Structure 1
Amino acid sequence: MTTLPPVPSGLRGAVDLSSLVNRPPAPAPGAAAAGSPGAPTPPDGGAPAASVAVPALVLDATDETFTQFLELSNTVPVIVDLWAEWCGPCKQLSPVLDKLVAEYGGRFVLAKVDVDANPQLTQAFQAQSIPAVAAVIGGRPVQLFVGALPEAQVRDVFEQVLELAAQNGVTGTAVVDGAPAGEGETPEPEPLPPHHQDAYDAIDRGDYEAAIAAYTTAIAQDPRDQLAVAGLAQVSLISRLQGASLADVRAEAAAAPTDVDAQLAVADLDVSGGHVDDAFDRVLTVFPSLDQEGKDAARKRLLEYFEIVGLDDPRVAAARRRLTMLLY
């Protein structure tokens, strides 16, 4: 990660922020001409980094208020969390983001965007699936990841964002109530149900089989536990993707267009990359050619995808209708 990517076309005009998003990237530390006014000082030059006052490190962002976050991103990187109340994986990821932003002590500000209430921002960040996480650095958006990643992986992403921000001269600190952000007590999050906590802990240490077992136990005890159902689907996908080679998976699928396992492996990659329609279409297209065992496997996998994407997503509704027609 060395330079900011171009501004997605959806951001320009979707929200009237062109004066900010069209500006050139901030120069990397030390890149300004010697002696020029406002030339940034390298981090090791001893000059204190800029600070900016904020009401809190975690803030709600809306279509109407996002301009202030773009302005803020000229001083400190802004992490953008696109979520919805009905999204199970979102509720898994949000506490992780909250915790890490607090731990970094003002080096980030977290902007939470409810996609149902803010269609312009949802379009601007091209959020085809949620949870989706992006950053804004120097007024420019950077796509980060989709899905509820484990804390260790999210921390790695945060470190890359800090590196990219430094390269673009964004090295400030957010300050809450006149004191360095992160000082004082952070409210303790509400405890998770026992099996959910076991699953989180297992995901954090990379033991996806243990996480699957914990969610399976939670569902056995309460079949209506939708958070556990969504969590099981999410962690099962992560487990299947471990060690997968993108080139090999796609080559195998191309060589065996009616092999259900090969096609489902590509669909996994598509879902993990946010290409939801491609994943649904791939499974539903191969479905009629499968034997009963293959159809059962494809149907089960589609139901997992529905949980990951969100049952209220219109793409899920369309795929569900298509699956029903194929079944009956």
Structure 2
Amino acid sequence: MTNAPLNAASLRGAVDLSSLVRQHNTPTPEVGEGASDQPAGEASKPSGFATSANDASFTQVLELSNTVPVIVEFYGQGVEPALEPTIAQYKGRFALVMVDATSNPQLVQAFQVQEVPTVAAVIGGRPVQLFSGIMPETDLKEVLEQVLQLAAQNNVTGTLPAAEGSEETEEEPVEEPLPPLHQEAFDAISAGDYPAAIAAYKSAITQNPRDQQAVAGLAQVSLLSRLEGHTADAVRSAAGQEPLNVEAQLAVADLDVSGGHLGDAFDRLLELFPSVDADGKSAIRTRLLDYFEIAGAEDPRVADARRRLTLLLY
């Protein structure tokens, strides 16, 4: 990963966290309370909108991520958590969860942590890899704004209450406004009007073909639009009945990507590629390129899929 500023294409489903969901019910951590001693397996509450979690308590974080996007900060090996002051500026629009990478191997494996600090997000129970290393605050805020946009697309728009007795920030953080067409797309997504969002992103790309945030946003909202009105059972049933039907396989690949199963989507389409005609190959290639934008070039699964596609093309 890199310390360079990320764009919307870097926001992607990382892994399936279902293995971390415990079978019994546990209360959602009340982020925003003051520090208190917690029994083993429960999240501690250092201050403000920050808390700590471990392998045993992460189910609470998944539940919390249905209310607000959760930023997960892995630290350890002489690296201390550093994101709390920035997260506090958003006044409850995020929760921050700090995880000691040296003592939580399940979370380290689930989030594919290779160094500290590593920062990820969880939105509606789904993980999103963000970056590793130390990022300047200006670039960090840009990433956080993109996380808020992705959260809005998934209807995760709550706000946490401030800690009782906590000091209020005197000045509201100054947020850079989105470009007009990006704001138009964002508002349309929030309203569930995917065709309008698609049109706005296309206009942005027409004005600036190098606008990678618009390219990635178009790929994301196009996927949401294609899935609208369909059920997972119907999509998978159709794909099972017609294994060589390109449209049916593209639909189930969309479903896989929406659930964070990027590798499954790549395998499905790349294995189908040699068996279809020229039009089918073109459709698969186009869809894979969309997925590459959604996932981000830094995802190792993207690099592997690009190599496989190149070999199939030539």
Normalising by structure 1, we get a TM-score of 0.59
How far, CA to CA, are the matches of 2:188 and 2:302 in structure 1? 29
How do residues 166-245 of structure 1 correspond to structure 2 at under 5 angstroms? 174-175=162-163, 178-179=165-166, 184-245=170-231
Gaps of 5+ in 2: 1-16, 36-45, 74-86, 114-118, 129-149
Shift of 1:311: 1.1
Q: Aligned residues: percent identity?
A: 50
How do residues 297-308 of structure 1 correspond to structure 2 at under 5 angstroms? 297-308=283-294
Shift of 1:110: 2.8
CA offsets 1:280-316 (integer angstroms, 9 cap, x no match) = 0000111111111111111000000001111111100
- Tell me which of 141, 153, 158 is aligned to 2:155: 153
Verify the 8 A CA contact 1:146 1:273 in the aligned structure 2: no
- SS class of match (2:91): helix
How do residues 99-138 of structure 1 correspond to structure 2 at under 5 angstroms? 102=91, 109-111=95-97, 123-125=109-111, 132-133=121-122
Residue aligning to 2:300: 314
Shift of 1:123: 2.8
How far, CA to CA, are the matches of 1:293 and 1:50 in structure 2? 54
How far, CA to CA, are the matches of 2:120 and 2:290 in structure 1? 16
Taking a change above 3 Å as real, the CA distance of residues 103 and 27 of structure 1, as seen in their structure-2 partners, is: closer
The residue type paired with residue 291 of structure 1 is: D
Gaps of 5+ in 1: 1-6, 12-20, 29-48, 84-97, 135-142, 163-172
How far, CA to CA, are the matches of 2:18 and 2:125 in structure 1? 13
Normalising by structure 2, we get a TM-score of 0.61
Taking a change above 3 Å as real, the CA distance of residues 26 and 154 of structure 1, as seen in their structure-2 partners, is: closer
How far, CA to CA, are the matches of 1:9 and 1:144 in structure 2? 12
How far, CA to CA, are the matches of 1:50 and 1:216 in structure 2? 40
How far, CA to CA, are the matches of 1:80 and 1:278 in structure 2? 26
Q: Which has the larger radius of gyration?
A: 1
The residue type paired with residue 175 of structure 1 is: A
Number of residue-to-residue matches in the alignment? 238
How far, CA to CA, are the matches of 1:252 and 1:207 in structure 2? 26
How far, CA to CA, are the matches of 1:284 and 1:240 in structure 2? 20
The residue type paired with residue 319 of structure 1 is: A
Query: CA-atom RMSD, angstroms?
Result: 4.4
Shift of 1:51: 3.0
Shift of 1:56: 5.2
CA offsets 1:62-81 (integer angstroms, 9 cap, x no match) = xxx867xx79x89x968533
Shift of 1:270: 0.4
How far, CA to CA, are the matches of 1:100 and 1:252 in structure 2? 47
